[in-house]
Amino acid sequence: MKTVAIIPAYNEEKSIGNVLDMVVNHPLIDEVIVVDDGSVDSTSLVAKNHNASRVITLKENVGKGKALDIGVKNTEADIMLFLDADLINFKSVHVTNLIKPVMDNECEMTVGAIDRSKLSLALNRKLNRIESPFSGMRAIKRSIWDIVPNEYKNKFYIETAITYLAKKKKIKVKPLVLTGVTHIIKEKKMGFWKGHRARWKMHWNIVWASALLRIKRAKRYGFSN
């Protein structure tokens, strides 16, 4: 059973190297694919320097969902580990925790949540319940990806669609808190106003995808079964 780590990245030259160091040569990962989604910095060069198996450099920004789909189409792996490129304190043990339950058929998908242990326990649990369904850190079987309609392999629709599909199809999912892991917020990466706009655009994508999945299209695509 072949495994692949797929990392979509847009202007992540400062952080992607640390993430790659945790998956390249990991004993449970056979292949590492970085999809540079139209970056204007040195993301592709950093990925190559950190020994990614393959770096796919797109000429323009196509969005996260399409970038992931391009990565999937360039591998024959049975299990795919999707990771964000801006993770902080991401370790080899987190790779193991995400992918091993799927490899062992304990579940068909794992979903990782960032660690908010500094918050109160109740607030931490509440935020994880809200955000985990939209997490970019997950391991899934290829068979799940293959039944996601192409319409939702787009922008930030993809995590919402996979989560909705898993619920409707009664796919076994294992949620995980990745101890110590955080990420770089958009406002810090892009500047306050540009980052703030990007955050609200992402949230709008999630809301729109959720709405689409609850109207007639959902039934047409088989999500209602």
What are the beta bridge partners of residue 88?
182
In the structure, what pLDDT confidence band is assigned to residue 205 with cuts at 50, 70 and 90? low
Highest mean pLDDT among 18-22, 135-139, 144-148, 214-218: 18-22
Model's pTM, two decimal places? 0.80
Residue 224, pLDDT above cutoff 80 = no
Residue 120, pLDDT above cutoff 50 = no
Question: Residue 83 and residue 69: Cα distance in Å, rounded?
Answer: 13
Closest CA to 136 of 67, 174, 82, 64: 82
Distance in angstroms between the alpha carbons of the first and the last residue of the chain: 29
Considering the domain 3-185 in this protein, what is its CATH number?
Answer: 3.90.550.10
